[in-house]
Structure 1
Amino acid sequence: MVVLDGTVANLALARLQDDLGLSDAGRNWVLTSYALAFGGLMLLGGRIGDAFGRKKMFIAGVSLFTVSSLLCGLAFNEATLVAARALQGTGAAIASPTAFALVATTFAPGPVRNQAIAVFAAMTGIGSIAGLIIGGALTEFSWRWIFLINVPIGIAIVALAVVALRETAHERLSLDIPGAVLATLGCTAIVFGISEGPEMGWASPAVIGSLIAGFALLGMFLAVERTADNPLLPFSLFKDRDRVATFIAIFFASAVIFCMAAYVALFVQDILGYSPLKAGLAFIPFAVGLGSAAFVSSKLAVHIQPRWLVVAGALIMVPGLLYGSTLDGTATYFGNLFVLVIGIGFGVGLAVVPLPLCAVAGVGPAEIGPLTAIAQVAQTLGGPLALSVVGAMATSRTLSLGGTNGAAVDMNPTELAALGEGYTFSLVGCAVCAVIAGIVALFIRFTPQQVAQAHEAQEAAQRG
């Protein structure tokens, strides 16, 4: 449910913009407000479970997620929807890390726990793809149902958690709340400045002020992390140049997926006239390509240096994304999009599989958990931060061609053509992210043997 809500809104963006009168920046905030809160507070969410009890915090996180889902479904304007989505992300940041910890503590070590962890991982993968299909299907009735459907599910989860889960032992920990708040607010301020720049004007005091404030807040965050008793971001984990390159590559690889999914969904609906359900089904080949490449990459990662798999993925993605940036309203699915979607999915799969293993290569079992968590944060924050830049590129392109801001249903043919140009131009930004991920990957020097050892150590840590 938590992963699903990261993608479920993609197919509803066009309807949301039409119904609530969202600006282009406000439309993107529907996605970024959730992802920023989720990624920015995820590390703190895991620590809260350790400090106060994972069962208790899991129930609290799911409850907050459920209530905020109801608020999303009842939203009546841009501000109420974006605020509710941020609350949703906060609930997810508490529930998600405690959920995984509960899986590890609820099931006995051995085959039973391994099977439970495999199911957990499968739900994560299924949720990201199902979000697109379920989102499209529910949006056919009303965009509100993509959020309201969480309410009965969330109530059922809380009721079952109260009965079925056991509370875990917890210890008194000093929580780095200032660090979590400063990091989240800093990222949010920067995203606001970049997102609103094309519409408000780059010289606007609000835009300049938010950018300055954002970088100042991130500077304060780094200062707090150096002196915190239990920092969210221990600097000792960043001494290895290969690992730093890995986190940067994860950041930009996730940015490609997040931004591409948002703008391709908008293009096929607003420009090609697809229904939300048809748009969701159009993404299935992407999942097929990604899954196929993930299987291939997982086998090759123990024989080939992981950087070459990431570079190969980038070399496949970039031409496909650049070709996609040339499409217009005359494009057809099987004539132009089908092979393109599969190909980009295959490139993404090649790139993203070895990177999480590189994040934990060559470290002891005690460091696997923190490094995995940081890799997840880089993956979660890469999308919304990149979308602010890519979204600004798309909006600026549309406006420069005589287009306008707002819902596609209200546009004349000239404005609609400009909107399509903006949507496809966003794929150039995605290609740039893929290029950066590929170049940075060249600095990752982990060997196939280290990756294989990391995989074994990760499995051992999960088995406890």
Structure 2
Amino acid sequence: MTTDHPAAARTKDRAPDADADGAAADPRRWRLLVFVALAQFMVLLDTTVVNLALPAVQNDLGAGPTAIEWVLTSYILCFGGLMLLGGRTADRWGRRRTFLLGALLFTAASLLCGLAGDAGLLIAARALQGCGAAFLSPAAMSLVTTTFPRGRERTTALAVWAALAGLGGTLGVIAGGLITDSLSWRWIFYINLPFGAVAVAGVLLLSRGRPDTAVRGSRPDLAGAATVTAGLAALVYAIVNIQDHGAASPPYVLAPAAAALALLAAFVLVERRAADPLMPLHLFATRSLATAGLGRVLTSAVQASVLFLCSYYLQRTLGYSTLKSGFAFLPLGIVAILVTAPATRVMHRAGPRPVYLAGAAGSLLGLLLLTQAPSDGNYLLHLLPALLILGASMQCCGIPVNVHGVSDIPPHQQGIASGVLVAAFQVGASLGVATVATSALTRTTSELTAHTAPALAWLDGLHLGFWIAAGIGVLNLLTAYFGLPRHRTAPAGTRTA
């Protein structure tokens, strides 16, 4: 085994204009990051912005409860189901082309959502939005990981990307209420038009003259694409139905879950035989990607659970309006932005493990505080401290897993690796909300049946939900402790033979 001289390795790591292979880095990479992150901000903004507008949509379009549920579900199904296909398309067809396709599709679908005259058209347009997001999101992340050299620059770029993306999810809760109250629910979709146009124009301008590397295989893996897309869609469908129909519902949960298992098993068999597989299975043997994927599932499950449970606590226990509840989450997003720079500096010096451990431990502390929230609680005293801790902690979990997950993946497979991480985020969020929501609402219903006062029944259910989320937080802490290497990852440019 031979290793470059440490001084030489440090020099390579510090070189601002060379990547790990010695090739000149794109001087426009930081400006490109702004537009790529803007597109991801748009996607995550749209994930949460719709929630507070649903009552207005239902009244305006005369839609029933089932149709309104599908306004959310259609987006989630297409986003989660097509994620791996979107990542592999970025590798095979080119990351820039895939990003532009996804951004244009998402933006056009947003316009159709705003113009929809009935619930059926809105559901179809939302599904189209999900398709665009499934191609845009993994392509955006892989653009970041392949444009910036491994080491300090890539860590910083992914931190900025994660911070802006996370802010989009937080601001969506507030923007949905503000826009719906002051303008119309249609404008929650129209606001995507300038974001999409600027992102597309910026990426086109800054990537001019830059080759769009693609990997040409023997032929597309259509069987793999069909089985994994249908399997993931069936899995997400089963998960999102747990909340409304219960985990034992045969048509809504058990049947689609069984179909998902069968389709995903078929996908594995197809991939083992394919000459040019959609998802190279050997990637799952890569410890960094496997650990990061699990970390993404657990982190997003905790984050989504906190947003769901705290929303109910604010409205059912503290009596906040929908709009006031949205503003109550603003500190969570702000502290996530503020912690990005110091967390990144620690990662530069000590690697991802200490930051991930601190984030996982902090999120567990925040959840334990929430399990003690009283029925006569005060926002400043009983909720804000936990939200501040959780905002910082979730960011400290998200940045390290993104950096660590792609650290050992070759450049020509960065797209599919990014797709795996984004899919893990979607599945984790859906699974987390479904688990805690079903448990909390079941406990609340049981308490109401026993003639417990409504406020206390809701609080009892929410406490159970917070304890379950804390259990997920323990798993996340164990993943951080055992999954990431104790030693710092070797600097970029250090070669081992």
What TM-score results when the alignment is normalised by the length of structure 2?
0.73
Amino acid at match of 1:62: A
2:91, 2:214 within 8 Å by CA — same for their partners in 1? yes
2:230, 2:263 within 8 Å by CA — same for their partners in 1? yes
Residues 1:225 and 2:271 are matched in the alignment: yes
With over 3 angstroms needed to count, the CA separation of the structure-2 counterparts of 1:34 and 1:357, relative to structure 1, is same
Residues 1:381 and 2:427 are matched in the alignment: yes
Q: C-alpha distance in 2, partners of 1:58/1:305?
A: 30
With over 3 angstroms needed to count, the CA separation of the structure-2 counterparts of 1:323 and 1:168, relative to structure 1, is closer
1:44, 1:176 within 8 Å by CA — same for their partners in 2? no
1:321, 1:431 within 8 Å by CA — same for their partners in 2? yes
Amino acid at match of 1:61: G
Residue 352 of structure 1: aligned partner: 398
Q: C-alpha distance in 1, partners of 2:286/2:99?
A: 34
1:65, 1:89 within 8 Å by CA — same for their partners in 2? yes
Residue 312 of structure 1: aligned partner: 358
Query: 22-31 vs 218-227, which deviates more?
Result: 22-31
With over 3 angstroms needed to count, the CA separation of the structure-2 counterparts of 1:336 and 1:457, relative to structure 1, is farther
**Residues 127-138 of structure 1: matches in 2 within 5 Å?**
127-138=168-179
Residue 16 of structure 1: aligned partner: 54
Residue 446 of structure 1: aligned partner: 485
Measure how far apart 1:184 and its partner are.
3.5
Amino acid at match of 1:437: N
Residue 180 of structure 2: aligned partner: 139
For residue 92 of structure 1, the aligned residue among 113, 116, 133 is 133
Measure how far apart 1:342 and its partner are.
0.4
Residue 396 of structure 1: aligned partner: 442
2:298, 2:475 within 8 Å by CA — same for their partners in 1? yes
Please give the secondary structure, in 2, of the residue aligned with 1:336. helix
Q: C-alpha distance in 2, partners of 1:196/1:114?
A: 37
Unaligned runs of 5+ in 2: 1-38
Amino acid at match of 2:186: R
Measure how far apart 1:197 and its partner are.
4.3
2:42, 2:168 within 8 Å by CA — same for their partners in 1? yes
Amino acid at match of 2:485: F
Please give the secondary structure, in 1, of the residue aligned with 2:485. coil
1:252, 1:433 within 8 Å by CA — same for their partners in 2? yes
Please give the secondary structure, in 1, of the residue aligned with 2:448. coil
Question: What does the per-residue CA deviation read over 1:318-375, in whole Å, with 9 as the maximum and x for residues that have no partner?
Answer: 2322332443653222121111110112222332332223324456656656544433
For residue 224 of structure 2, the aligned residue among 179, 202, 206 is 179
Residue 264 of structure 1: aligned partner: 310
**Residues 411-426 of structure 1: matches in 2 within 5 Å?**
418-419=457-458, 421-423=460-462, 425-426=464-465
2:49, 2:188 within 8 Å by CA — same for their partners in 1? no
Amino acid at match of 1:127: G
Residue 428 of structure 1: aligned partner: 467
Measure how far apart 1:231 and its partner are.
2.5
1:361, 1:446 within 8 Å by CA — same for their partners in 2? no
Query: 70-79 vs 354-363, which deviates more?
Result: 70-79
Question: What does the per-residue CA deviation read over 1:193-218, in whole Å, with 9 as the maximum and x for residues that have no partner?
Answer: 34434644525444322221121122
Measure how far apart 1:33 and its partner are.
4.5
2:79, 2:134 within 8 Å by CA — same for their partners in 1? yes
Measure how far apart 1:55 and its partner are.
5.8
Query: 315-324 vs 23-32, which deviates more?
Result: 23-32
Unaligned runs of 5+ in 1: 404-411, 459-464
Measure how far apart 1:223 and its partner are.
1.7
Residue 247 of structure 1: aligned partner: 293
**Residues 404-415 of structure 1: matches in 2 within 5 Å?**
none
Q: C-alpha distance in 2, partners of 1:312/1:370?
A: 28
Please give the secondary structure, in 1, of the residue aligned with 2:488. helix
Amino acid at match of 1:260: V
With over 3 angstroms needed to count, the CA separation of the structure-2 counterparts of 1:41 and 1:89, relative to structure 1, is same
**Residues 320-339 of structure 1: matches in 2 within 5 Å?**
320-327=366-373, 330-339=376-385
Residue 256 of structure 2: aligned partner: 210
Q: C-alpha distance in 2, partners of 1:98/1:272?
A: 42
Residues 1:44 and 2:85 are matched in the alignment: yes
Q: C-alpha distance in 2, partners of 1:307/1:117?
A: 16
1:12, 1:139 within 8 Å by CA — same for their partners in 2? no
Q: C-alpha distance in 1, partners of 2:205/2:336?
A: 38
Q: C-alpha distance in 2, partners of 1:338/1:210?
A: 39
2:102, 2:133 within 8 Å by CA — same for their partners in 1? yes
1:259, 1:386 within 8 Å by CA — same for their partners in 2? yes
CA RMSD, 1 decimal:
4.3
Q: C-alpha distance in 1, partners of 2:50/2:309?
A: 12
Q: C-alpha distance in 2, partners of 1:273/1:93?
A: 37
Question: What does the per-residue CA deviation read over 1:124-154, in whole Å, with 9 as the maximum and x for residues that have no partner?
Answer: 3543444344334223334332123224554
Percent identical among aligned pairs is 34
**Residues 47-126 of structure 1: matches in 2 within 5 Å?**
47-49=88-90, 51-52=92-93, 57-73=98-114, 81-99=122-140, 123-126=164-167
Question: How many matched pairs?
Answer: 446
What TM-score results when the alignment is normalised by the length of structure 1?
0.77
Residues 1:189 and 2:234 are matched in the alignment: yes
Amino acid at match of 1:316: G
For residue 297 of structure 1, the aligned residue among 313, 326, 343 is 343
Query: 304-313 vs 85-94, which deviates more?
Result: 304-313
Residue 148 of structure 1: aligned partner: 190
Q: C-alpha distance in 1, partners of 2:466/2:479?
A: 20
